[in-house]
A and B are shown apart, each in its own frame.
Chain A
Amino acid sequence: MFIDLAADRPTVTIHIDGLPHIVSADLSVAAALLSAGVFNLRDRSFGGAQGPFCMMGVCFECLCTIDGQPNRQACLETVSQEMVIVTRSAAAAEDQW
């Protein structure tokens, strides 16, 4: 579990797999997922590994659909108000790409 170490930061509301979350406005999408307790991003059937690993764009394990754009590296994008994020495990369950 990751805890917030800096108080009084501006926040935004984002949607992760259909549920709203309030997160700090300056987080990368991957950091926001972790702070919201979402660790498992990928369906096992797509390969071995499951969640954000390197946080710097090297491992490609944080791929999510962000505002309709599939397979974005969540660690390279910053959250924005009302951003819609769909993780691959959710997308796989609904039989989309």
Chain B
Amino acid sequence: MSASISTQPAYDVAVIGGGLLGAAVAYGLAGLGLKTLMVDEGDIAHRAARGNTSLVWVQGKGHGCPAYTAWTVRAAEAWPVFAAELNELTGVDANYRRTGGLKFCLGDTEFESRHRLIDSIETESPAARSEMLDRQALLDIYSEIGPQVTGASYNPMDGQVNSLLLWRALHQGFQQHNGQYLPRHSVGSIRQIGNAFELVAGNETVWAEKVLLAAGIANARLAAQVGLNGGVRPVRGQVLVSEKLQSRFAVPATDLVQTDAGGLLIGNVEEDAGLDESTNIRVLSGMARRAVATFPSLESVQLVRSWAALRVMTEDGNPLYQRSESHPGAFAASTHSGVTLAPLHATVLARWIAGLEMDPAVEAFRPEQRHVH
């Protein structure tokens, strides 16, 4: 059978995956005027996008990889404009706030260990601006911290956003820019035929000039089909959600965030659990103990639900942006930080895929660039 296609493929780019990464890039691509298709799974899917805690986070990122620290700082700086533009276009306000952020330390060992990590990153990347707050300084922010709290690391660039509204806004903006959304279709195979890619997803076959794999942990399955390496594994994150409370936690922490709706997101333990998405009572109980140790007054707060989600983790924890040599036009992207990096995914990464820019910052995250030091 002839390998050439006489007609133009229907789409300029097919983005596989409608999570935070896929939706951000697709939104960017559609905004650039490219005819974009976003293919997504069904309602019951692993969906890391539903499993984050709304943090736009700089501190602690990129230890041993200054390029990632710089990338994260750049994302944080881009957030206000990105949020405003998205709101302007869609009318959806994801309520991004740069509040500063904390990571609490209980006991002396934790404090020292965190101190060392923060110092190490600051040495490599002074622009990261994280600092340690001792207990006394922390009391100025939160007067009710428990006796075991020895301090926290703090970064003024950290903040939070309503990540579910962000996700919704990206989808809406994508469609407003004439993007096509195809849910409930899991991509089974990708073949390159001539200058186009053929994707078979359930009962649909679609053709696109380029394809981006942004399918979270499913990238592991799809990547080999286009000469890329999977390079991701699932990590299970578990979170406890409280009833709505009067607004009291203005500065978010890695394991305690008060959403704009009022509920507290508590915990955020991550562990290797294969594909097991169920919650684990011992883990949840441990998270509850830590929360009560951090803020004893939380003891009487009611939890209304918990969830566990499989998040994406690359081998070294840094983002992975890949361009295929054997299948030109095929790309893959994976990251743990779909929320924080959204502005760059919608702009820099989209332009990279569109072929408009070869930003060296993006190139730093290609697999060939790893293990440099």
Contact = CB atoms under 8 A, between A and B. Distances in A.
B301 A46 contact: no
Interface in B211-261: 243-246
A46 B244 contact: yes
B296 to A, nearest CB: 14
Contacts of A71: 243, 302
A46 B302 contact: no
Contacts of B302: 70-71
Contact of B300 (A46, A47, A69, A92): A69
B300 A70 contact: yes
A12 B206 CA distance: 72
B301 A97 contact: yes
Nearest to A95: B246
A23 B243 CA distance: 30
Contacts of B244: 46-47
Contact of B245 (A47, A69, A97): A97
Identify the interface centre among B243, B246, B262, B301: most chain A CB within 10 Å of its CB: B246
Given A46-B262, A70-B300, A92 B243 contact: no
Contacts, number: 15
B158 to A, nearest CB: 25
Contacts of A96: 246
Nearest to A47: B244
Sort chain B's interface into a size bin. Answer: under 10
Interface in B262-279: 262
Contacts of B246: 92, 95-97
Contacts of B300: 69-70
Nearest to B304: A60
Nearest to A96: B246
Contacts of A92: 246
Nearest to A60: B304
Interface string A25-44: 00000000000000000000
Contacts of B301: 70, 97
B266 to A, nearest CB: 15
Contacts of B262: 46
Interface in A45-97: 46-47, 69-71, 92, 95-97
A95 B245 CA distance: 10
A4 B246 CA distance: 37
Contacts of A95: 246
A92 B300 CA distance: 16
Nearest to A72: B302
B248 to A, nearest CB: 8
A95 B262 CA distance: 13
Contacts of A70: 300-302
A96 B248 CA distance: 10
A47 B245 CA distance: 12
A28 B243 CA distance: 23
A47 B244 CA distance: 9
A46 B245 CA distance: 8
Identify the interface centre among A46, A95, A97: most chain B CB within 10 Å of its CB: A97
A92 B262 CA distance: 13
Contacts of A97: 245-246, 301
A72 to B, nearest CB: 9
A75 B246 CA distance: 24
B298 to A, nearest CB: 10
A70 B243 CA distance: 11
A92 B245 CA distance: 9
A30 to B, nearest CB: 17
Contacts of B245: 97
A53 to B, nearest CB: 17
A92 B243 CA distance: 14
A57 to B, nearest CB: 14
A70 B304 CA distance: 13
Nearest to B301: A97
A85 B244 CA distance: 19
Interface of A: 46-47, 69-71, 92, 95-97
Interface of B: 243-246, 262, 300-302
Ordered nearest first, which 6 A-B pairs have the shortest CB separation? A71-B302, A97-B245, A46-B244, A70-B300, A95-B246, A71-B243
7 contacts: A46-B244, A69-B300, A71-B302, A95-B246, A96-B246, A97-B245, A97-B246
